[in-house]
A and B are shown apart, each in its own frame.
Chain A
Amino acid sequence: MHPLSDAELVDRLPDILINHDNKAFYRGWLERRLLLNRCLQCDTWHHPPKPVCPECWSDAVVPTPVCGEGTVHLLIRLRQGPPADGVDYSTPHPVATVELAEQEGLRYTSTVIGDGAADVAIGDSVRLTWIERNGAPYPVFERSGASSASER
C-alpha cells in the first residue's frame, strides 16, 4: 500500500484543517493509530502537534503511538453542539479530556462510548478505541477498569 499523499489525506478528512505540523497525526487516524509527538532528544511528549519540542527546542519530534490508557481529567456533557456524524444531543454527549499514561499532563480530548459512558466521571480509567465518523476512523475512549458510579 502506498503512503497516502497530502492531497489524498485532505480529501479523506475534508472538515479538518490539516497542515504540515499535524498531517502525521491525522494520517495516524486513518490507520487507527493515535500518534502524539514525542521528542527524540529529551523524550518529552506534547500535544497538539508542534514543529519543535517545547521543552528542548529540538525539531526531532516524532509522531509516536500511545498505549491508549488514561484517566478522565476533565469532563463536560454537551446538551447542544455542532452537528456531527453519529452525535445525537438528545442524550448528553460526553466530552472527556483524558490524561494519558505516557506522561503527566499529556492529554487527549474525545468522547466516551460504550458501557457506562453515560455515567463516566472525572477520575475514571478509560482506554482508546475507534469509531467511524464521516467514513473515516475517529479516536474515542471507552471505560476500562472496575470503577463505577456506585463505587466512587
Chain B
Amino acid sequence: MPRNPVKDQVAIVGVGSTGFSRQGASRSRDALVAQACIDAVRDAGVGKQEIDGVCGGLPRASTVVSMLGLPEVTHYVNHPPPFGFTIVDAMNAIHAGSADVVLAYHAMYRSPFVSRSAASDPLRRHLGWAGEPIGRPWRTDPEQLEGSPGYAAWASRYLHEYGVRREQLGYVAVNNRTNAADNPLAAMRDPLTMEDYLGARMVRDPLCMLDMDVPVDGADAFVLTTAERARDLTDHPVLIHAATTGTTAKNDEDQISGLGHHGQQVVAKELRAKSDIWVPDVDVYFPYDGFSFITLSWIENVGWCGEGEGGAFVESHWEKEANRIMIDGRVPVNPHGGSLSEGATQGSGHIREAVVQLRGDAGDRQVAGARSALLTLGGFFFNAQGLVLRQG
C-alpha cells in the first residue's frame, strides 16, 4: 500500500478568484494575482504576517512575496501548470513543517497568440505562447505534437480504437456550458446545444473549437494550513484527503506507449490506493477538460466505466431536461463549467469549485449534501494529477 501520512492533515481554509474573462486586456497578470491572493487571505481570516509559504508559477513566488509585502517567508517555489503541482507542494510543505500557512495562486493570462483582444494590447507583446516572457520559440513547424496538438493526435487514436462518436465528445462540452450558466465567475455562459457543437469550426480535426478550453484572463488563490490550525480559523475547513501526480517513462507526446498507459493510469492507481473515498461514493467529480477527450479518458481511468466506454457512459448518464451529465442521477461533473466554459484555469478553477462546494457556499449550483470531491487534473503526458478533498 502507498503510504499516506499526510491524509487529512492539511486543509484549504481560504479561496479567492477574480473570475475569468476573454474580453478586455487592460489589467496586468500581477494585478489579477494580487486581487485573488488578497481575497483568499481575507477569506481565510489570517494576517499577512502569518503567511510563511508562497507557491505559484507566473508571476514567480518571490514576486508575489514582494508585491504583497509578506514580511518573512520560508517556503516559496515556482511550479509549472497544471495547478495540482502547486497544491501538492503546498500540502507537502505544510506537513513537513517548511511552512505553516501557504498562499498558493494560479494566473491565467492570454498571450497575443491565443486571443485577438489580447493581441490588441501593446503591453502584452513581450509574452510568448504560454504567457512566459518571450524567448526563443520552440520548434515552430506545424508537424510537432508539443502542447495542444498532442491531445488532438491521441483523440484521433481514441476515436479510431473505440469507435467513439464526436457527439459523445459533445456531451462534455454541452455539460460544461450548462453548468457554467450558474457560475458568475465563468467566461462562457451562453447556452450551447449539441447542434452548435457539431457545427463548430474544426481546428485540429478531429477536434473542433468547442473541444478546447477557452483562453482567459483571471486568477485563483488559496490559503492552506494544518488541519489543526484550520479548526481555529473556520467551522468548515476542506481537508486534502489524498493527492498525487503521475507520469510514465515514455511521456514525449508522440511516444507514450498508448491510451492504456500514461500519466492518468498512474494517478488513478496511486490516488485510489491512498484514498478511503472513491468512485462511486464521491459526491462531485472534477475531471480535467482542457480538451473534451481528456474528460472521457479520466472518467474511464478512475473506474466509472471501462476503457473506451467514456462516450457511452456520459451518454447514458445524461439528464435530458437539465442538459447535463449526472452520474447515477447524483454526481455532477464539473459543476462550475470546467476549463471548457469557466475558462482555461489549468485546474485551479476545479479545485476552487470543489472547495466552495464542500463548504456549502456554491449558491444556485450547490450540490446537495456534498461531502467529498474527486479531482483528476491534467492530461496524459507529464501533467496528470489527482486529489480527493473532503469536508473537515
Contact = CB atoms under 8 A, between A and B. Distances in A.
Interface residues of A, number: 35
B249 A76 contact: no
Contacts of A107: 254-255
B157 A73 contact: yes
10 contacts: A17-B138, A74-B153, A74-B254, A76-B156, A77-B205, A78-B142, A78-B204, A79-B203, A84-B142, A109-B143
Given A105-B255, A107-B255, A82 B141 contact: yes
A15 B141 CA distance: 9
A149 interface: no
Interface string A99-113: 000000111111100
A74 B136 CA distance: 28
A76 B136 contact: no
Interface in A28-69: 46-48, 54
B149 A54 contact: no
A76 B160 contact: no
A80 B114 CA distance: 12
Interface string B216-257: 000000000000000000000000000000000110101101
A146 interface: no
Contacts, number: 87
- 8 closest Cβ contacts across the A-B interface? A74-B153, A77-B205, A81-B142, A97-B254, A76-B152, A110-B143, A122-B160, A109-B254
Contacts of B145: 74, 95, 97, 109
Contact of A15 (B140, B143, B157, B249): B140
B202 interface: yes
A79 B136 CA distance: 25
A82 B157 contact: no
Contact of A93 (B140, B142, B252, B255): B142
A68 B202 CA distance: 31
B269 interface: no
A138 B141 CA distance: 10
Contacts of A123: 160
Given A73-B157, A82-B142, 7 more contacts: A15-B141, A16-B139, A48-B255, A74-B157, A95-B143, A108-B254, A140-B143
Contacts of A122: 156-157, 160
Given A87-B142, A97-B254, A133-B141, A76 B149 contact: yes
A80 B203 contact: yes
B205 A79 contact: yes
A147 B126 CA distance: 48
A80 B149 CA distance: 11
B255 A47 contact: yes
Nearest to A121: B160
Nearest to A98: B254
A75 B136 contact: no
Nearest to A16: B139
Contacts of A73: 157
A74 B204 contact: no
A116 interface: no
Interface string B303-329: 000000000000000000000000000
Contacts of B152: 76
Interface string B124-153: 000000000000111111111100010011
Of A47, A54, A76, chain B has the most CB atoms within 10 Å of the CB of A76
A106 B140 CA distance: 22
B116 interface: no
Contact of B156 (A17, A48, A74, A111): A74
A84 B141 contact: yes
B206 interface: yes
A87 B144 CA distance: 14
Of A46, A81, A87, chain B has the most CB atoms within 10 Å of the CB of A81
Given A47-B255, A48-B252, A92-B205, A75 B156 contact: yes
A79 B204 contact: yes
B267 to A, nearest CB: 21
Contacts of B137: 15
Contacts of A74: 145, 153-154, 156-157, 254
B113 to A, nearest CB: 9
B204 A77 contact: yes
Contacts of A140: 143
A46 B207 CA distance: 29
B205 A76 contact: yes
Contacts of A84: 140-142
